[in-house]
């Protein structure tokens, strides 16, 4: 199985097969416009611009499941991303990444790369881990997506190589991307 076997609707409502990205290295990210991690859009765009000519693509999947931090319409999301961060990588329709209505792609991603915890050696990882331990300890269990801007690195064959939790800066994924290009 690979990510190439799934379909998804673009932010404009066009259903596409992800095999369109076969032969490319992908970074699949669940995103939100009103999150403390939203500025990661800037570094995601930098990554995309750096590697897009080497068959690298970022696929952004807006989600409103974490603190209702993506409340707008698909058009609102698209406009926000372009105006505030100059996003040119592909964005998809808002989806659920957890629960009974989760998109099958995210079921596959989370089953392929389980949650291994937050990197508490970083300030943001320590803060997010402490937040969950105090406010939502049950969320730390299982392999579901924990928060906005969880990132999955995918190889050219569509296999999940690595999972990066929300606090991981997109630019820190650059060396792993380079190894796959």
Return the active site residues.
35
CB distance 150 to 162 below 8 Å: no
Question: Nearest to residue 152, comparing CAs of 114, 102, 100, 103?
Answer: 114
The CA-atom distances, in angstroms, between 95 and each of 27, 38, 168 are 17, 17, 22
CB distance 89 to 48 below 8 Å: yes
Across 68-95, b (16+ Cβ under 10 Å) vs e yields: ebbeeebeebbebbeeebebebbbbbbb
Q: Which two tokens stand for residue 86?
A: 């100059």
């Amino acid at each position: 199985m690979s990510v190439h076997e799934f379909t998804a609707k673009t932010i404009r409502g066009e259903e596409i097969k992800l095999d369109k990205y076969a032969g490319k290295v992908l970074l699949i990210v669940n995103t939100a416009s009103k999150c403390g991690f939203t500025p990661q859009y800037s570094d995601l765009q930098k990554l995309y611009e750096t590697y897009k000519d080497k068959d690298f693509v970022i696929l952004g999947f807006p989600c409103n499941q974490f603190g209702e931090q993506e409340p707008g319409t698909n058009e609102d999301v698209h406009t926000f991303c372009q105006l505030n961060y100059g996003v040119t990588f592909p964005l998809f329709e808002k989806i659920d990444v957890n629960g009974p209505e989760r998109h099958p792609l995210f079921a596959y991603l989370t089953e392929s790369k389980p949650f291994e915890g937050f990197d508490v050696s970083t300030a943001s990882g320590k803060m997010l881990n402490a937040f969950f331990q105090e406010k939502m300890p049950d969320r730390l269990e299982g392999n579901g997506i924990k928060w906005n801007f969880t990132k999955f690195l995918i190889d050219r064959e569509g296999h999940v190589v690595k999972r990066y939790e929300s606090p991981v800066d997109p630019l820190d994924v650059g060396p792993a991307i380079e190894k796959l290009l």
